[in-house]
Structure 1
Amino acid sequence: MAKLPWILLAFLAGLSQALHFEPFSVSSLPPISFDDATPTTQASGKNSRGPLISKSTSTFIENAINEWDSTGLSVAVVQRDAAVTDSSHPGWRIEYGSYGVASTHCEPSPPGNTRIMKKNPITPDTLFAIASNSKLFLAISVGLLVSNETLAADFRRSRGVELGWRTKMRDIFGPDLWQLWDEDAERGATIQDLLSHRIGLPRHDYSGVQRTGGLEEMIRTLQHLRPSATFRETFQYNNLMYETLSYLPTLLLNQTYESYIAQHLFEPLNMTSSTYSVAQVELHSDAKESAWPHRDLSAHMAQGHLADKRDFTRGVNGTLKAIVPYFWSPGKEKTWAGAGGVITSARDLSTWVAMLLNGGRHPFTNATIVPPEVIDFVAHGRSVAAGKADFPELSPSTYGAGQFRYSYRGTEIIEHGGNNPGFKSQVARFPEHGLGVVTLSNDGEQGGFVLEAAKWRIVDELVFGAGAGAKRKDAGKKAKGDGFVNWTSRYHKLWDAYKKSKKDGAMVPPSPRVPPSKPFSQLSRRRYAHVTYGSLTPCRVPPNPLDDSHSSSALLAHEGNNPQQPLLTEDTLGSRPRQEYENPHANCTAVLSLPSTRRILAFASDGTGNDVPETYITPFQRTFGTHLLLRHWSGDLFNVSVVWTNDDRRAELGLDYRVGGNAGAARRRAEFGEGVGLGYGVGEKLDSEDEGAMMWTLDESFTVEWVTGADGGEEGLAFRDGFWGKEGLDSREPEGWGRDGAEVWFEAQV
C-alpha cells in the first residue's frame, strides 16, 4: 500500500473509530440518564465585518462532530482589523466557537433515585492539553535566553564562546553531560539542530522513564540511543531534543523551565489559565503544588477521550471513553514539559496567536513580549519535513523551530499540531491575512480529523471567499460548487485505508510454531536492561491465567489487603511446574494479579481459540506505556505490543466502581451520597471489569528477537520493526540480527 500523506502522521498514533460515546457505564450504580441541557455552540465577540465563525461554519463543525462520533471542539479565530475599537482587544477581531461536551459528572441526588449524568459544555475557557503545540513555547524561551544580553555576556566570559542559535550543545552542557552515539552529532550539534529535528535520532519515545535525576539524568542517557540517520541527513521528529533544551533555564539561570515560561510568556500575555501543572488541573489529585501560585483550575479541565480496547488488526474499533484521571499523575509531567506539557484554553491561545501575528508585541498593548527577530527566526523553515505535496492545494513543508511552514491554495501557513493521549490541537496562522485559527479537541481518536476539517473550512471562507456563489480569490473566477475543499471526504478515505492496512498487515504465524532455541522458562527467569530505556522483567503467563478464584486479590492489594494472594495455582497452571513461571527478579504473582494485567490478558486472548501462543507481560511505566505484552511468533521471534492502561491508577484513587468497603468506597460515598450501591465488597470475586478503565494501543505492535545465547554468545532482547519510532525519507533500519540489528538492545542480566 502507498504511504499515507504526511498531513495525517500527527493523527494516526492512537486514533480510532468510536462505536459509542460512553464516558461511564457502571452497572453497580443506580440508572443514569442525561439531562436535556446538551451544549451546542457558544460564540462570542462582535466583528466589524461579519462573523469570523459563520453560522454555516458552526453547522459544519457540529455535523463533523456527529459524523466522526467525536466529543467536542473549542475554536478561536483572530484577525487583525484596525477598525476594531473594543477596549478589551483593540485592533483585533476575535471570536470563539464552543461545540460539544468537555466532561461529565454525576449530579448528587437522594439515595436510590435515578442519577443524572451532567454534561459540562465546552466554553472558551475549557482547558485542553495541547501536546506538541508546547514546542513553540520552548523554542521562543530559547530565543529569549539567547537575546538576553546580560546572560550572553556572562556566558561569553565563562565559556569563551557566544550564546546563540548556532552555539554547540557541547559548549553549553560540557563534554561530560553532552554525549551522543554519533560522534559527528555530539561534536557539531547546535541549538538550531535540536529545534529543527535534524540530529539523526528517531523518536525513542518509549525511553520516557521517570528519573530521579530529572532532565540532567535524561540528557546523560542520550548517548545510549541508536541513531537512524547521520547528523543533519534528514528530518526526524524527536521529543527528547525539546526536553533537553528545557534544561537551559535551570542550567543558565537556576530557574525551572515552567517558572521561566510563566514569568516571560504566560503572565505578560495574561494567559491566566495556562499551566504545566497536572496537580492544578486534576480533579482527582490530592497533591496541590504549593510552589505553583496560581488557582485550582480543575473545574475547567476537559476530559480527554480514547478508544478502549481498540484493535484494528482484528477489526475492533473500540469504545470511546473519558480518561479519568488525567493521563499523567501529578509530578510526572515535568520532564515532558518542553516537548508537550502546556495545558491551556482557546481564550488564552487567541492572545498567544495574535502576539505571534503581531511580531512578538502584545496584541492589545503593543508592548514587546518577544523580540521580533526571535519570532522571525523560529518561523523560518530549516529542515524539509515533507519534500512532496500530498494534495494539489498544498506545497512541500519545512520545519523551523516548533513550527511547520508551507502553503495552502497559494497562501502561506505557519502551524503546529499536538497529539497527547485523549487530546489533539492545531494552532495555525496566515501572516499575509493577519489571521489565526486555534482548534482544540478532547477526542484523542478522530478529533484530529474534526479540528483539521474545521480549520480548513474557516480558512476557505475567510481567506478564499468560499460560500454560495462566492468568487475564488485564488483563481479569480467563480468557483465550481461552493468553493470549499472537501477535506472531510478525503479524511474518511485516508482513515478507512489506514484501518484496512492495519487489518491486512496482521500476519498469520506459522502452524505449528517453531519453538525457540532455549526453553520458554529461561526467558522469564531473566532481567533485561538498557541504560536509557530501563529494565524489563518478563512474567510468563500461565496457560489459564483468568481461571483462578482470587481475581479481586490484587485490586484489593491497593488498599493493603493480602497483596500476596497466590495466582500460580493448579487452576492457572494446569499440570505445568510452578518454577517455570517464576521470575526471581520480579513478583510475578503481584504483576499477574493486577487489574490492568488481567484485562490486557483477557482481551488479548479473546478470539484466539485454541491457538494461544506463549505469552509474557512486564510492567513498562513510560510516557506512552504501562505494559509490554510479548507473544511468541515462531522460533526466537515474538510480537510485542506497548499497552497503556489506567486500571491500577484508578484503583489507587478509589475510582474503580467494583470495590467496596475500603478507601475507594469512602470516596464514592462522598461523591454520590450514602446508601449508593457500591458493587463488590472485600474478598468478593470480580466478575466484571472496571467500566471506567482504559486500555489503549494493543494494535501497535513490533518485533522482538530473543537472542538466547545458545551458541555461547551474549543473551538479550533485540527490539526492531519500528519500536524506536524511525521517520524521515533517508533514515534507515539497522542491518543484521541480534544486537547488530537491534533498534534497541536490552542485555540479559543473569
Structure 2
Amino acid sequence: MIRHRLAVHVAAALALAAPLASFAFQAAPAASSSVATQASATRPAQLADFDAYVDNVRKTFDVPGIGVAIIKDGQVVLEQGSGVRKLGSPALVDAHTMFAIASNTKAFTAAALSILADEKKIDMSDRVVDRLPWFQMSDPYVTREMRIRDLLAHRSGLSLGAGDLLYWPATSYSTKEVAERLRYVPITNSFRSAYAYDNILFAVAGLVIEQVSGQSWSDFVSSRIFQPLGMTETKPNFHSIKGDDDVAVGHAKFNFKELKPVEPMAWDNNPGAGGIYSSVHDLAIWMRVQLDGGVIGKDAQGKEKRLFSAERQKEMWSLLTPIPVNDPVVPELAAAKPNFSGYGEGWFVSDYRGHKLVWHTGGWPGQVSRVTLVPDLKLGVVVLTNAESGAAFQAVTMRALDAYMDAPKKDWTAAYNAGVQKTEGNADEGWQKHVAARDKSSKPSLALAKYAGTYRDPWYGDVQVAEKGGKLRMTFSKTAQLTGAMEPWSHDTFLVKWDDRSLNGDAFVTFNLGVDGNIREVRMEPASSLTDFSFDFQDLRLTPVK
C-alpha cells in the first residue's frame, strides 16, 4: 500500500484473493555475491544451497537486491543479503540494509492498538466515532457501527483500494484530511459482508492511536515498539532515513519494460498503512516476539515482560474476514493453494501443508516484501526486495517453508515464472482487445479547447484539463506525479500517459456529453490490467466546475 504495487495479484497465482505485489519481467542485473550475517542455528539440509537459490531468484525475476532472514525456535537460522542496493552501484545488500516494508507496517499498527487495549485505554470493540467524533463514512449505519477492530479487517464495504488516490501517488493532503474525505468515498458492499483490501482505514486507525496516546503514530511505534525491542534499524518513515544509512533503492519497470531506480517516497498522510522502513535483521526480532506470543524478556525480578498480551495476539491472528480461495493461475502453483484464507487484525491467515500461516506482504514504489510466520513450528521467514516482483519473494518464501515441513524439493522459481508468463500474456491479450475495439477513424465531438477546464470529484478533489498548442494535458491538483498528456483514443475517450513512466498507470479518460453537447461527467479507468489497484481511477466521478 502501501502503496501496494499490485499491478498483478500474485495472490491469484497462490489461489488467494489477497493483494500481493506484481510480477516483474526481463533479464536480471549483474550477479553479485550474497552477504551473510553469522547465524546461531543450523540450516536444514534442504537449504544447503539456499544462497545460490536466492541469487537465481534474483536473476530470474530481475531484482537487484534481496534480503532474507529465517528464525526457528527463537534462534536465527540465517539473515543475509543478495545483490546490490542500487543498479550501477557497488554497495551490496546485507542483513542490515533497510527496505520499505510497506503494508507489513499494518501489523505494527495493530500491535500499537493492542498495547493501548492492554492498558485499558481503548477496547477493540469501541465505536470509532466515540474516539473520533468527526469520523464519517458515506453510509450513516456504517459510520455508527464501525468499531476499532473493523479498521484493521478489510470488511468495511469499501471497494478494493478505495480512496488510495488520496495518498498514492504522494499527495498534499494531511492524514486527517484523508480520513475526513472518507464520507465521500462510495461504499459498494454491505458492511462486514465481504473482503476488500483497503489502506484508508489504517489512516483512521493511526489517528485513533494519536488521539488516545497523545503521541503521533510515528512517535508511538518508535517509543513503544522499536525501542523496547532494540529495533535500531527500523524507521517509521522515509524522513527518518539519514544520508549515510544502509538503505535500498527501489526499482520499477518504466513502461513495464526497462528496470530503473525510482525516487523514494514518504507516506506522510497514511503512515499506519505502510510507512515503515526496516531490515531483515530487525524483522527477525519482530518475528521472534510474534512467535513468542508478545513476550520480550524478563525484568530484574524475573517477571515476564510483554509487548502485548497473549489474548491480544490471539485476536490479531484470528480470522475476522473470510477470503475466497481461487484456483491458481497455472497448474505449477497448485501446491500453494490453501484450504482456507482470511484476514485478522493486520495479518492474513491461511494454511500450507497442514500448518497455519500468519503472514503479510507489502508493496511500495520499487520495493515489495513478505513476512511469514508458522506458529506451530515456531518458524518465521522475511523476504525484502528492491524491485516490484511478488514472484521473487514468493519463490524464496515457499522454498524456506518447504525446508521445514519435510516437503519434496520443488522448483518454485520455475513455478512462479510460469505464473509471470501467463499473467503477462493475459495483459497483452487485454490490451489487444482495447486496440481492436478502437475506432481509429473517429474524432472527438468537441474542439479540444472545449474539454479544458476544472473537474471535481467528491472524494478526491479537483483535476485540471488544459489545452495548449492543440494538445490536452491532465493534472491532479493534489498529486504532483499525476500529470500527463492526453491523446485522442476513440470518440470522446482519451488516453492519458503520465509523464512519470515508472507509474505504469496510464488511464482512459471518457467525457460524457449531454443532449446539448456540454460535458456532464468525466470517467476514468486503468488502461492495463497490470496497473496497480491503488490507482482507483474507476471510482472517480468528475463533473465540471462552473
> Is 2:482 the partner of 1:626?
yes
Q: Does residue 116 of structure 2 align to residue 145 of structure 1?
A: yes
Alpha-carbon separation, structure 2, partners of 1:224 and 1:718? 16
Task: Map 1:313-392 to 2 at 5 A.
Answer: 318-323=257-262, 325-328=263-266, 333-362=267-296, 367-388=305-326, 390=328, 391-392=334-335
Q: Is the 8 A contact 2:34 2:80 kept in 1?
A: no
Alpha-carbon distance, 1:146 to partner: 2.2
> Structure 2: how far apart are the matches of 1:708 and 1:239?
34
User: Aligned equivalents of 2:419 and 2:255: distance in 1?
Assistant: 22
Q: Which amino acid aligns with 2:165?
A: Y
Q: Select the structure of larger CA radius of gyration.
A: 1
Matched residue SS, 2:361 = strand
Whole-angstrom CA distance in 1 between matches of 2:371 and 2:268: 23
Is 1:64 the counterpart of 2:57 in the alignment?
yes
State the partner residue of 1:99: 82
Could you say which residue in structure 2 is the equivalent of 1:603? none
Where does residue 3 of structure 2 map in the other structure?
none
Matches within 5 A, 1:148-297: 148-149=119-120, 151=121, 163-174=122-133, 177-202=134-159, 203=161, 204-208=163-167, 214-281=174-241, 296=242
Contact 2:166–2:178 (8 Å) recurs in 1: no
Map 1:696-715; keep pairs closer than 5 Å.
696-698=502-504, 700-711=505-516, 715=520
Distance 1:720 1:96, change over 3 A: closer
- Give the conservation status (yes or no) of the 8 Å contact 1:723–1:743: no
Secondary structure, counterpart of 1:622 in structure 2: coil
Output one character per residue of 1:227-285: Cα deviation in whole Å (capped at 9) or x when no partner: 2222222101000011111011322232100000011100000001111232332xxxx
Structure 2 Cα separation of the partners of residues 723 and 710 of structure 1: 31
Q: 2:494 aligned to 601, 617, 638, which one?
A: 638
Q: Which amino acid aligns with 1:280?
A: S
Matched, 1:523 2:451: yes
Residue 722 of structure 1: how far off its partner (Å) = 9.2
| Contact in 2 for aligned 1:20/1:69 (Cα 8 Å) | yes
Identify the residue that residue 107 of structure 2 maps to in structure 1.
136
State the shift of 1:639 in Å.
Answer: 3.5
The Cα shift of 1:9 comes to 6.3
- Secondary structure of the 1:539 match is strand
Partners of 1:513 and 1:633 within 8 A in 2: no
The CA distance in 1 between the partners of 2:458 and 2:416, in whole Å, is: 41
What amino acid does structure 1 have at the position aligned with 2:245?
A
- Specify the alignment match of 1:412 in structure 2: 356
Equivalent residue runs for 1:599-618 within 5 Å = 615-618=472-475
SS in structure 2 of the partner of residue 228 of structure 1: coil
Residue pair 1:306, 1:322 contacting (<8 A) in 2 also: yes
The separation in 2 between residues aligned to 1:71 and 1:723, in whole angstroms, is: 25
Task: Report the Cα distance in structure 1 between the residues aligned to 2:298 and 2:499, rounded to whole angstroms.
Answer: 43
- What stretches of structure 2 of length at least 5 have no aligned partner? 1-8, 329-333
Report the counterpart of residue 663 of structure 1 in structure 2. none
Report the alpha carbon displacement of residue 7 of structure 1 after superposing the two structures with TM: 4.6
Deviation string, structure 1 residues 316-339 (Cα, Å, up to 9, x no partner): xx221122x4234xxxx2212100
Give 1:502 shift.
Answer: 1.5
CA distance 1:98–1:714, change in 2 (3 Å):
closer
- What's the offset of the Cα at 1:58? 1.6
Q: What is the aligned partner in structure 2 of residue 501 from structure 1?
A: 426
Distance 1:502 1:486 in 2: 25
**Cα separation, 1, equivalents of 2:70 and 2:404:** 10
Is residue 182–residue 231 contact of structure 1 (8 Å, CA) maintained in 2?
Answer: no
* TM superposition shift of 1:710: 4.5
Counterpart residue type for residue 98 of structure 2:
L
1-structure distance, mates of 2:439, 2:521: 26
Partner residue of 2:33 out of 27, 31, 39: 39
Q: Distance in 1 between matches of 2:313 and 2:463?
A: 44
Question: Per the alignment, do residues 620 and 74 of structure 1 end up closer, same or farther by CA in structure 2, a change over 3 Å counting?
Answer: farther
CA distance in 1, matches of 2:109, 2:391: 26
Q: CA deviation at 1:53?
A: 8.4
Cα distance in 2, alignment partners of residues 168 and 717 from structure 1: 36
Query: One-letter code of the match for 1:67?
Result: T
Structure 1 residue 395 displacement after superposition: 2.1
- Partner SS for 1:633: strand
- Deviation of 1:749 after TM superposition, in Å, equals 1.4
Query: Using a 3 Å threshold, how does the CA distance of structure 1 residues 308 and 298 change in structure 2: closer, same or farther?
Result: farther
Query: Which residue of 389, 394, 415 maps to 1:490?
Result: 415
1:685 alignment partner in structure 2: none
Contact 2:222 2:236 in 1 (8 A): no
> Partners of 1:389 and 1:408 in 2: how far apart?
15
Distance 1:742 1:407 in 2: 33
One-letter amino acid of the structure 2 residue matched with residue 140 of structure 1: A
Cα displacement (A) at 1:541: 5.9
Residue of 74, 97, 117 corresponding to 1:126: 97
Identify if the C-alpha distance between structure 1 residues 723 and 744 changes in structure 2 by more than 3 Å, giving closer, same or farther. Answer: farther
Instruction: Report the CA distance between 1:179 and its aligned residue.
Output: 1.6
Please state how far the C-alpha of 1:11 moved relative to its aligned partner: 4.5
SS in structure 2 at match of 1:45: coil
| Aligned amino acid, residue 68 of structure 2 | V
Identity between Structure 1 and Structure 2 (%): 21
Correspondence 1:569-608 to 2 at 5 A: 581=470
Secondary structure of the structure 1 residue equivalent to 2:359: strand
Give distance in 1, aligned partners of 2:378 and 2:186: 43
Once residues 71 and 363 of structure 1 are traced to their aligned partners in structure 2, the CA distance between those partners, rounded to angstroms, is 37
Contact 2:264 2:365 in 1 (8 A): no
- Would you say 1:305 and 2:251 are equivalent positions? yes
Q: What secondary structure, in the 3-state scheme, does the structure 1 residue paired with 2:187 have?
A: coil
Count of residue pairs brought into register by the alignment: 517
Are 1:462 and 2:407 an aligned pair?
no
Give 1:534 shift.
Answer: 2.4
User: 1:618·1:629 contact (CA, 8 Å) conserved in 2?
Assistant: no
CA pair 458-297 structure 1, distance change in 2 beyond 3 A: farther
Where in structure 1 do 4 or more consecutive aligned residues deviate above 6 Å? 209-213, 721-727
Q: Does the Cα contact within 8 Å between 2:250 and 2:387 map onto a contact in 1?
A: yes
With normalisation by structure 2, the TM-score equals 0.86
For 2:482 and 2:173, how far apart are their aligned partners in 1?
21
Q: How does 1:673-684 map to 2 (within 5 A)?
A: none
**Residue type at the aligned position of 1:71:** P
Select the structure with the greater relative contact order (CA < 8 A; seq sep ≥ 6).
Answer: 2
Question: Structure 1 residues 139 and 455 mapped into 2: Cα distance closer, same or farther (>3 Å)?
Answer: same
Does the aligned pair in 1 maintain the 2:391–2:420 contact within 8 Å? Answer: no
Cα distance in structure 2, aligned partners of 1:721 and 1:387: 26
Query: Tell me, which stretches of 5 or more residues in structure 1 are unaligned?
Result: 23-36, 81-90, 105-116, 152-162, 282-295, 311-317, 467-482, 543-580, 582-613, 646-694, 728-732, 734-740
Read off the aligned partner of 1:306 and give its amino acid letter: A
